[in-house]
Chains A and B, each alone.
Chain A
Amino acid sequence: MSGDRIETYLSGLKRELRIRWVPSDRLVEETRSHLADAVNAAVARRLTPDAAEQEALSRFGDARTVAEQFAAERYRRLEWIMLAPALLVGISIAMIDARPHWDDTGITVGMLLIGSALLGLGVTRRAWMIALAVGVWIPGWMVAHSLVEKPALVASAVPVGCVVLAVTMAGAYLGMGVRRLATYSGQRV
């Protein structure tokens, strides 16, 4: 029993880190060393080895939370960098959609979905940021255009905005989900 629980935890942590594309070797080694120290300290306080392991793991935190913290630190900048292409894609689609003779809604929806899904492949969390960056421009343009041309039509941007954001949310989370699934599959092979 002794040590099994910690090794199981470390395997779980490794998996959670890899899912998030965080290099795991050093972190897992540091965690192993930390837990060994914590168990020794707890045993020195007269806890049984089993109770000491339990306490050490409980204090360290569950593997998913720890991995999420690592990913958050690691990808904080990348998430902001990913916003630039997302904004470009969103503006481009809005410009195409705003052309006077453009009336192919299906293609616009397809571009929004595919564009946000491809960009969603680049993030491991907060896909909603990508969805907003891609999707905000079409309703934004509608509002601006209506204010100048036909103020009475401003309200029509609300349902359009909801549909556009629903599509980009679906795309971005689909992309992020595919990335996570691919990482999971890669682990299992």
Chain B
Amino acid sequence: MQGEALKGHLDLLLLAAVEHRPSHGYAIVETLRQRSRGAFNLTEGTLYPALHRLEHAGWVASSWSDQNGRRRRVYELTDRGRERLAERQREWRAFALAVNHTVEGLA
């Protein structure tokens, strides 16, 4: 699935990717790839502008961390980010349900 199709959902995906533990950029990309079973094949460099935007909005916080001699920027969910994630998850469930009902013709 290409970036264009994910555009409106990228914030939700990124917030969900750092929900359980702080992660650096490459780990976030890997999480997205693994959880989507390879379906989310994004241009990796374009995730960073989105991460910076989430940080600017106060939904994630980041700091440098030295791991095995390598310096990485690690992102973690803030309290506001957790609230935002819960809100977006509710919206997504309602949206997905409506689309399923429409596409599958469910009553």
Contact = CB atoms under 8 A, between A and B. Distances in A.
Contacts, number: 63
Contacts of A26: 73
A158 to B, nearest CB: 35
A37 B74 CA distance: 14
B37 interface: no
Counting chain B CB atoms within 10 Å of each CB, which of A29, A30, A37, A60 scores highest?
A: A30
B44 to A, nearest CB: 5
Contacts of A83: none
Interface of B: 24-27, 29-30, 43-46, 48-50, 52-53, 70-73
22 contacts: A29-B71, A33-B71, A33-B73, A34-B26, A34-B29, A34-B48, A38-B26, A41-B26, A41-B30, A59-B43, A59-B44, A61-B44, A61-B45, A61-B46, A65-B43, A65-B46, A66-B45, A66-B46, A69-B45, A70-B49, A73-B49, A73-B50
Given A26-B73, A73-B53, 18 more contacts: A29-B71, A30-B48, A30-B72, A33-B24, A33-B70, A33-B72, A33-B73, A34-B24, A34-B25, A34-B44, A37-B27, A38-B44, A41-B26, A41-B30, A60-B45, A66-B43, A69-B45, A74-B49
